[in-house]
Copies of this chain bind each other. A is one copy, B any other.
Amino acid sequence: MQIAIALFDRFTALDAVGPYEILSRAPGAEPVFVAERAGAVRNDSGTLELVAHRTFDQVPAPDLVIVPGGPGQHHQMENENLLGWLRGADAASTWTTSVCSGSLLLAAAGLLKGRRATSHWLALDQLSGHGAEPTGERVVFDGKYVTAAGVSAGIDMGLTLLGRIAGDRTAQAVQLLTEYDPRPPYDAGSPDKAPADLVEEWRGRSRFILR
């Protein structure tokens, strides 16, 4: 099972590494980081680089596609090198997935028309502009399309998808080996739960942090 994780300038690292860490442990998984050009790709803050080992052209037909989000997503919305690759890869894939604002790239490629999908809570309302039906759920399955909410939600997506691909016992084994028994010290992980003034503060700043 070839798993292509797409990278682009100013992606968010955990968006990519969360589902990678889970799904790369599937039996027979062959994960590969891909980008427009092979080599190091810089994340949103510019302080982390992940290496893309292959170009998009070199990985035309993966079994599973993972598209992370991040502030750089905004600048990829008309990049036909990426969007064209997504369309071609999707034509071959068994699963096409995204984390965070990565769903906006799937949507921009025309892959989410009429489908239920999610995104980072600050980007959610942009999905409908591309014909998708936004939901506030954390992990959304619609046929072979699987979208996750912001950043850390990719871990839940990875584990849920791993159960579908490899069975519950394998997914439970990966949960055990990654010791995924979360205990957040606060309960502010969604706009429904965080203090209302904090949510409003970041809604106000969103046009800066999303670009």
In the complex, residue of chain B having the shortest beta-carbon distance to the beta carbon of A100 = B179
In the complex, residue of chain B having the shortest beta-carbon distance to the beta carbon of A156 = B183
Number of copies: 2
Q: Out of B17, B138, B180, B201, name the residue touching A17 (CB < 8 Å).
A: B17
In the complex, residue of chain B having the shortest beta-carbon distance to the beta carbon of A47 = B31
Report B-chain residues with C-beta under 8 Å of the C-beta of A53: 49
A8 at the interface (CB under 8 A from B): no
> Interface digits, A189-203 against B, CB 8 Å rule (1 contact, 0 not)?
111011100110110
Report B-chain residues with C-beta under 8 Å of the C-beta of A48: 17, 20, 24, 31, 33, 50-51
> Interface digits, A48-73 against B, CB 8 Å rule (1 contact, 0 not)?
11110100000000000000000000
Report B-chain residues with C-beta under 8 Å of the C-beta of A178: 14, 150-152, 189
Interface residues of A (CB under 8 A from B): 12-14, 17-18, 20-21, 24, 30-33, 40, 45, 47-51, 53, 100, 120-121, 138-139, 149-153, 155-156, 159-160, 163, 168-169, 171-173, 175-186, 188-191, 193-195, 198-199, 201-202, 209
